[in-house]
Amino acid sequence: MDIKYDVSITAIGNLAKTFLENNSSTILLDEGIRPNLSDMVIEHTPGELKEAIKKGDKLLMGGIKYTVEKVGDVANDTIHEEGHCTVIFNGEGSMPGQIIVKGPAMPTLTVGAHITFTKK
């Protein structure tokens, strides 16, 4: 398994839980980088983006494996800069900072769990 990006969840905002339940999406952000957004995001340890995330790559999150269907034009840049992107589960999207993934279910998110992108 060639890991492109691996971080651990450090905090889960209350609105972040609602976004996952109601919109099948979650916003990722390096911990402490924007405290005013902490209720809306999944904060995680800073990580190094070793290689650009591409269509066909895999995401392991909340114990579930997803396939990357689409990567927005700036998603890799914002992940590199501040660990930021919006992950859309089993849906559609076209915003530049979004990564669209397909999988069998919604992830169960817990503090300490890893978020890992790997090559195809």
pLDDT tens for each residue of 66-78: 999 999 999 999 9
Residue range(s) defining the domain that contains residue 20: 3-118
**Amino acid sitting at position 35:** P
Spatial distance between the Cα atoms of 31 and 64, rounded to a whole number of angstroms: 23
Paired tokens of 85 = 């992107």
Percent of the chain with pLDDT over 90: 89
Instruction: Give the position of tokens 């300490």.
Output: 112
Q: pLDDT value at position 120?
A: 87
Condensed to tens digits (0 to 9), the pLDDT of residues 30-79 reads 999 888 889 999 999 999 999 999 999 999 999 999 999 999 999 999 99
Helices (H), 1-120: 14-23, 75-82
Radius of gyration (Cα) for the chain, nearest Å? 13
Higher per-residue confidence, 12 vs 37: 12
Instruction: Give the position of tokens 């195809």.
Output: 120
Spatial distance between the Cα atoms of 48 and 82, rounded to a whole number of angstroms: 10
Q: What is the CATH number of the domain that holds 19?
A: 2.40.33.40
How many Cα atoms are found within 13 Å in the side-chain-facing hemisphere of 31?
Answer: 12
Q: pLDDT value at position 31?
A: 96
The number of folded domains in the chain is 1
Q: Is the pLDDT of residue 1 over 80?
A: no
pTM metric for this prediction:
0.95
